[in-house]
Copies of this chain bind each other. A is one copy, B any other.
Amino acid sequence: MGLTEIRTAVKVDLKKPADQQPLLHVRSADHTFIKHLLTFFRIDGIQTAGAPLHNPPQMLLTSPTVPFAAKVKDGEIFKVECVDWTGGQIGNNDSADDVKNIDLTKIHYLSGPFEVEGAEPGDVLVVEIQDVQPFQEQPWGFTGVFDKDNGGGFLDEIYPNAAKAIWDFEGIFCSSRHVPHLRFPGLIHPGILGCAPSAEILAEWNRRESHLISTTDLQRIVAQPPQPQNVHAGSASGELKEKVGKEGARTIPGRPEHGGNCDIKNLSRGSKVFLPIHVPGAKFSVGDLHFSQGDGEISFCGAIEMAGVITLKLSVMKSGMKDLDMKSPLFLPGPVEPHYGPSRYLTFEGFSVDEKGVQHYMDATVAYRQATLRCIEYLRRYGYSDYQVYLMLSCAPVQGHVGGLVDIPNACMTLGLPMDIFDFDISPTGPAKKIEMGACAVASK
């Protein structure tokens, strides 16, 4: 009857590193006390070319065998606290050294996996995202451009250095001393949510991704295989832990069978996500909270990453996968997205001809990269550095749309920049007047 506060299923101690979080207590919404082990796991990491492969990643969301951390009822509303996806490695300061030197084996911390009462393979888990909030006591987040040799990003061939912006949360808005004259409301959301794969699906992931790794020669890391050493597998130990380590897929990519790290900005407050269930109890996990993100999250650590709390309602749709003929997640966005009116989006066109003049065949990825570069060139006129705009486009609510995808050989993509998030006029009326824009945080040499 709503007489009391919605209970928090997972509590975080912000003063401790993510891998030292204590056992956590869980209460269900109906006041029944459930005592449960609930830890945060280091989930995944990106191994860069030269880095030794110690401290391998773990696989809370990507293994069918990691034990449950807590149980929730069908239809229950509850809260989950989450650390930021780097587990607190990034500080609120004016240097990007922490981004440059980030330990990518200690990232993608999630909360879960949750056992959902009555969930069976073939069912669909309906996730209603009732709210997402930063912690009151930590009203800030960060956006990072990773070093090309330690993580990289969408534009790393052009912008190879580490950079960072700290964003202050002012109620529903945020602004940054590192990217001034900009302020926008957060389209707050979790970057990652999904249910664990079955053993068969996990095997398929490993097959197809290792095939890519073995057949691609792009002079860059194209995917990450499982890493058996030093596994953290929740409360698993012994043989089970060893098994998890050998098989568990990496959390980095979203995957069609379960969603995962999709980084879809519209999975925000009020949205309803329909997730395939592959194992008994669903094994739902969530994390990587974003205060805001632009379509594409282009700098990789591109959203405004934050620690916070998410309020969820999980329901089971029996036999949903068959009834909906569902292979990948569906969702209905929420009704409260920021809206500016279509004519307030300054929109840049990008085509699949790259910045070196090379013609690609119908490549929407190349086309979207070009649209982001056009936007950087445009905003540079006002005094922003390229890195400032790169950070901005990663996290501000920019709209990345498909234009035409059939006119050979050029894919056309568009990037829409809401003009109302600036405190000066950026409309295309003529030469730009430069403004003092300060600087984003950069790494020491």
Contacts and interface: CB of A to CB of B under 8 A. Distances in A.
Interface in A332-374: 332-351, 353, 357-365, 368, 370, 374
Contact of A256 (B209, B297, B370): B370
As for how many copies of this chain the complex holds, the number is 4
B332 A343 contact: yes
Interface stretch (A30-38, A226-234, A398-406): A398-406
Interface string A389-412: 000000000011111111111111
Contacts of A261: 404, 407
Contacts of A208: 353, 357-359
A222 interface: yes
Contacts of A404: 191, 254, 261-264, 296-297
B335 A336 contact: no
A343 B347 contact: no
Interface string A170-181: 111100010000
A157 interface: no
Contact of A185 (B166, B325, B326, B336): B336
A333 B408 CA distance: 25
A60 to B, nearest CB: 16
A335 to B, nearest CB: 4
Given A270-B343, A353-B255, A405-B154, A338 B336 contact: yes
A420 interface: yes
A243 interface: no
Contact of A335 (B169, B171, B339): B339
A440 interface: no
A171 B328 contact: no
Interface residues of A, number: 138
A424 to B, nearest CB: 11
A172 B270 contact: yes
A4 B137 contact: yes
B224 A335 contact: no
B412 A262 contact: yes
A354 to B, nearest CB: 10
A194 to B, nearest CB: 11
Given A3-B92, A370-B328, A408-B253, A338 B340 contact: no
A131 B166 CA distance: 20
Contacts of A266: 342, 347, 401, 414
Interface stretch (A19-27, A49-57, A61-69, A425-433): A425-433
A311 B343 contact: no
Interface stretch (A95-103, A110-118, A210-218, A277-285): A210-218
Interface string A115-158: 00000000000000111000011111000000000000110000
- Tell which of A140, A343, A349 has the most Cβ of chain B within 10 Å: A343
A313 interface: yes
18 contacts: A1-B166, A2-B92, A131-B171, A185-B335, A209-B359, A212-B361, A253-B407, A255-B353, A256-B351, A256-B410, A271-B343, A296-B405, A330-B428, A331-B347, A332-B344, A333-B342, A364-B368, A365-B411
Given A264-B414, A324-B428, A363-B365, 10 more contacts: A77-B171, A130-B170, A185-B269, A185-B270, A209-B359, A252-B407, A264-B404, A295-B403, A328-B349, A344-B344
Top 3 nearest A-B pairs by Cβ distance?
A: A130-B171, A131-B171, A263-B404
Interface of A: 1-6, 46, 77, 92, 129-131, 136-140, 153-154, 166-173, 177, 185, 191, 204, 208-209, 211-212, 216, 218, 221-224, 252-256, 259, 261-266, 269-271, 274, 295-300, 302, 311, 313, 317, 320, 323-351, 353, 357-365, 368, 370, 374, 377-378, 380-381, 399-414, 416, 420, 425, 427-428, 430-432
